Amino acid sequence: MSDMEIPYTVAARPDTGLNNGKIGIWLFLASEVMLFGALFASYILLRTGATEWPHGSHYLNVPLATLNTIVLISSSVTMVMAWYSLKIDNFTKFRLYMAATVGFGAVFLVVKYFEYSAKFHHGYFPKTNTFLAIYFTMTGLHMLHVLGGMAVNAYLWGPGAKLWKKDKAHFTNRVENSGLFWHFVDLVWIFLFPVLYLL
């Protein structure tokens, strides 16, 4: 038995009305909301319990983080355009937009690398104080998500794109699901940015 058919990759399951990939990614994102929620709750607990709390800009570089916010928002647009390109059957454009999405992700990580390096250079480490501890934890976990999203997007841009020739609808669904994760990563940053840098 070579090609065993995986059911409901494209067709909707009668009971959920959705294909399995779609419901799967949303349930995964729900668990991710709670994962980051736990960290945001920790942040509130630490901040309300602290005798003093620094303004984010005291330790952190607001212009660099603003640049990174713009980069991630741009990557969300290129991601949704990559999916849209497949919807209108334009594979060349998909490749272009997907490459841009992965590229923006790389820019984000490079900027973050410079930010982290500057902190370490100034002797600011997670152990330095509670603010930096929660800053490194939250941005570190977020960075891992950026890396994960980039890996999946790069796969779909490269070897994973072979599926397009075999089953267009299935491949489009994979890109949509990868996009949902990528937008979620953008969404988390939209909250991390003001909470850590601006308040």
Partner 1 sequence: MSDSHAADLKKHVRIYILVFVSLMVLTLVTVAVSYLHLPVHQAIGVALLIASVKGSLVACYFMHLISEKKLILWVMLLTVVFFIVLLLLPVFTTADRIRI
11 near partner 1, judged by CB under 8 A: no
- Answer whether 164's CB lies under 8 Å from 93's CB: no
**Residue of 11, 24, 50, 158 interacting with partner 1 (CB under 8 A):** 50
Considering only 59, 61, 64, 77, the residue that binds partner 1 (CB under 8 A) is 77
Residue closer to partner 1, measured from CB, 123 or 148 = 148
Count of chain residues binding partner 1 (CB under 8 A): 54
Q: Which of 174, 177, 130 is nearest to 156 (CA)?
A: 174
* Torsion sign, CA atoms 194, 64, 140, 125: negative
Q: Is 106 in the site for partner 1 (CB under 8 A)?
A: no
User: Whole-number minimum distance, CB 20 to partner 1, in Å?
Assistant: 12
Ramachandran bin of 172, using left for φ above 0, alpha for ψ from -120 to 50, beta for the remaining angles: alpha
Q: Select from 74, 128, 129, 137 the one that contacts partner 1 (CB under 8 A).
A: 74
DSSP secondary structure, 21-49, as one string:
HHHHHHHHHHHHHHHHHHHHHHHHHHHHH
Angle of helix 20-49 relative to helix 168-192, nearest 10 degrees, comes to 10
Burial of 67 (0-12, 13-18, 19+ CB in 10 A): middle
Sketch the per residue contact string, 141 through 180, with partner 1: x for CB under 8 A, - otherwise: -----------------------------------x--xx
User: Which whole-number Å values give the CA distances from 97 to 92, 128, 154, in the listed order?
Assistant: 9, 41, 11
Q: Does 18 help bind partner 1 (rule: CB under 8 A)? A: yes
Summarize as ranges the residues that interact with partner 1 (CB under 8 A): 16-18, 22-23, 26-27, 29-30, 33-34, 37-38, 40-42, 44-45, 47-51, 53, 57, 62, 66, 69-70, 73-74, 76-77, 79-81, 84, 87-88, 176, 179-180, 183-184, 186-187, 190-191, 193-195, 197-199
